[in-house]
Structure 1
Amino acid sequence: MGKMEGMTIPSVTLGGVAEMPLLGFGTWQIRGDAAYEAVREALEAGYRHLDTATMYGNEAEVGRALRDSGVPRDEVFVTTKLPPDRAGRERATLDQSLAALGLDAVDLWLIHWPPSRGKSVAVWREFLTAREEGRVRAVGVSNYDLGDIDELIAETGEKPAVNQIRFGPTLYDAKLVAGHRERGVVVEGYSPFKTTNLHDPVLTRIATAHGVDPARVVLRWHVQHEIVVIPKSVTPERIATNAQLDGFVLTNEEMAEIDALAGRR
């Protein structure tokens, strides 16, 4: 279990080497001073998992915020990602990411999107090399389907630790989640609120019953499904409340009701 300020957020273990908190802080579309301030707020609020990417253009701010926070490096799980157009330039891109972040290694490195046809396996081999060299602790993918993942496993015998995909209650697919679990791949969801109507009567009713807001119901739903979730915000109050997932537990009936939102798309 990963400790957060007065909170307990469960973690999943990636290949026995890295503890990945089920709640992380996303930084997509946040740049410059706003990125620095948001990450400082997130670490202050108790997040111990930060998600960035080469494509986001904010690795330097994320790294600086982590250093300035005073939180020990080994207490924070850091993810970054390789853009698909950098296929063939994996090592140089990772060098740039580590330099920008100011880190010797990241905890998780993801292929951000599948590169153009036929290049995925070659990129994956470079990722495995980076892991062997200790420059990344775990490697995975983002926006891959199960067929793409199976290709990597078939060619290298090595599965991605994580697949980060667009996710939320309305996108819930029990078969898709089960398919990842059968392969030993952790599902990580991004854009949990963009994919969700937070005014949905099911969510507002459940939120009222627990004395919380619908956003926290959505995040708690992910955590109870053991799906990693990375909400994003630049508002200090929202950053803090999104991290407050202790103190209430969704019942099996409530979880099923939220699962069923996917059938109403």
Structure 2
Amino acid sequence: MNLPRLGLGTMGITDPEAIATAIDVGYRHLDTAQIYDNEAVVGEGIARADVDRGELVVATKLWVDQLDRVRESTVESLDRLGLDAVDLLYVHRPRGKYDPESTLPALADLQADGLVDEIAVSNFELDDLNRFIDVLERPPAANQVEYHPRFQPEDRLEHAREHEYPLVAYSPLYDGRVGDVDAVVEVAARHDITPEQASLAWLLEKGIHPIPKASSREHLEANLAAQSVDLDPEDVAAIDGVEREDELYPE
């Protein structure tokens, strides 16, 4: 699977037209989840868009209370999405009904049956990641974690690099507050870009795949344009050095 460098986070999006607009302006990675309660919205947006399904990477996540009924719950998600399969199916968090000895083989069975292209994980820490590798004898197709200037889980980034799978960053704009981070504002000013674009460009320079949420065409296009920003090593180092004590979604 070739994961696009930058995708769309859909948590909170309730209008299918926002999804269709995102696809129209160039997004090819769409990320949803059962707990977002908008899989049907994402599916309707995909149906409205004039793009071949094969061009899209569609991801959803099994919530923690569904991990003992993996097949049934996945089929329900596919029904809501209106799709025959998803490209990425995540374990949303390794808690609740999560049991690596039963949950992960059930996911592998879905993959073998063609309902899921790749198995991924979200909010996994090192012990959980290594247990995944022990059980399935391969790394996950991705690990999705909170990653922004004020929270930088470098151990997860290093694990992803070591095992050669992508790290996907949710909340890459620090819940809309990257404009309050001095180092980000200074980098943005040097490059005549917005703080949001600076934060996304910083993640992209590190090889991380951000999935910012946006719904208006203006913001969708602005976020996508961050892919063409080239930061200097000094810029990356400046944002790397930000004080990191604000995890928005702790366990």
Q: 2:173 aligns with which of 186, 190, 193?
A: 193
Give the corresponding residue for 1:5. none
CA positional deviation for 1:238 = 1.2
Give the corresponding residue for 2:233. 252
Give the corresponding residue for 1:243. 224
Counterpart check, 1:171 vs 2:151: yes
Counterpart check, 1:159 vs 2:139: yes
Secondary structure at 1:109 match in 2? strand
Give the share of equivalent positions with the same residue, in percent.
32
Secondary structure at 1:19 match in 2? coil
Post-superposition Cα deviations, 1:74-128, rounded to whole Å, max 9, x if no partner, equal 1111000101101221111111111111111111000011133771331111111
CA RMSD of the aligned region, Å?
Answer: 1.8
Give the corresponding residue for 2:52. 72
CA positional deviation for 1:263 = 5.2
After the TM superposition, which residues 45-84 of structure 1 pair with which residues of structure 2 at under 5 Å, given as runs?
Answer: 45-84=25-64
Post-superposition Cα deviations, 1:225-260, rounded to whole Å, max 9, x if no partner, equal 111111002333112211112443000111111111
In 2, Cα distance between equivalents of 1:263 and 1:66: 37
CA positional deviation for 1:197 = 3.2
Structure with more of its chain in strand, by fraction: 1
Q: 2:187 aligns with which of 192, 206, 227?
A: 206
Post-superposition Cα deviations, 1:127-175, rounded to whole Å, max 9, x if no partner, equal 1111111111111111111101111222331321111111112222434
264 and 86 in structure 1: CA distance in 2 versus 1, 3 angstrom threshold? closer
Report the more deviating stretch, 250-259 or 204-213: 204-213
Secondary structure at 1:65 match in 2? helix
Q: How many residues align?
A: 245
Structure 1, unpaired ranges of 5+:
1-17
| TM-score relative to the length of structure 2 | 0.91
In 2, Cα distance between equivalents of 1:151 and 1:246: 34
| TM-score relative to the length of structure 1 | 0.86
- Do 1:106 and 1:137's aligned partners in 2 also have CA atoms closer than 8 Å? yes
In 1, Cα distance between equivalents of 2:215 and 2:104: 33
The residue type paired with residue 186 of structure 2 is R
The residue type paired with residue 154 of structure 1 is D
After the TM superposition, which residues 115-130 of structure 1 pair with which residues of structure 2 at under 5 Å, given as runs?
Answer: 115-116=95-96, 119-130=99-110
